[in-house]
């Protein structure tokens, strides 16, 4: 991917936002507006969705500190196009996601020291959590946005 195409894609990814108040309860395709990616050139992107239910006793300052450090590390590792950090609803349900240039970039970041430290505190912070992974493709049939393929 050339620099100009990557910059355009990264800018488009920053335009992906929730379109429903209850986005955390919806399919990732339905809860967000992905149309900014419709005009972008890419073969395949990699999306990791983190759905969680926070414990009422979760230390939100600690959670935020670990999350911010892991995010910084992910940026430095390369390939991160968009990080959406969701807010928990009244039931503690939350959805966040990372959109990557490719799967290898996500693997590299998830192996980082700070990401591993953030993962170690999940039992203290979450009642439950689930990871969803998708390949996003773009083609003539995807004029309104990317096509999601669950992995």
CATH class of 3-58+79-107+124-150: alpha beta
Domain boundaries along the sequence of the chain: 3-58+79-107+124-150
In this prediction, residue 68 has a pLDDT band, given cuts at 50, 70 and 90, of: very high
Mean pLDDT score of the chain:
91
d(CA 63, CA 125): 7
Q: How far apart are CA 34 and CA 61, in angstroms?
A: 30
Rounded to 10 deg, the angle between the 103-110 and 60-77 helix axes is 130
**pTM confidence score:** 0.91
**Does residue 134 sit in helix, strand or coil?**
strand
Question: Tell me, what's the pLDDT at 3?
Answer: 41
Q: Of residues 89 and 5, which shows the higher confidence score?
A: 89
Model confidence over 117-151: pLDDT tens digits? 999 999 999 999 999 999 999 866 556 679 999 99
CA dihedral sign, ordered 56, 94, 103, 9: negative
- Encode 87-109: b = buried (16+ Cβ within 10 Å), e = exposed: eebeebbbbbbbbbbbbebbebb
pLDDT at 139: 61
Q: Give the Cα separation of 91 and 11 in Å (integer).
A: 32
């Amino acid at each position: 991917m050339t620099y100009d195409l990557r910059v355009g894609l990264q800018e488009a990814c920053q335009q992906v936002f929730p379109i429903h108040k209850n986005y955390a309860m919806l399919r990732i395709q339905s809860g967000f507006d992905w149309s900014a990616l419709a005009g972008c050139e890419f073969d395949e992107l990699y999306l990791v969705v983190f759905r969680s239910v926070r414990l009422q006793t979760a230390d939100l300052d600690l959670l935020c500190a670990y999350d911010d450090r892991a995010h910084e590390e992910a940026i430095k590792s390369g390939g991160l196009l968009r990080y959406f950090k969701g807010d928990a609803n009244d039931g503690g349900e939350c959805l966040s996601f990372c959109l990557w240039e490719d799967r290898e970039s996500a693997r590299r970041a998830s192996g980082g020291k700070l990401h591993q430290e953030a993962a170690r505190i999940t039992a203290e912070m979450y009642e439950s959590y689930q990871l969803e992974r998708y390949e996003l493709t773009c083609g003539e049939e995807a004029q309104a946005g990317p096509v999601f393929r669950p992995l």
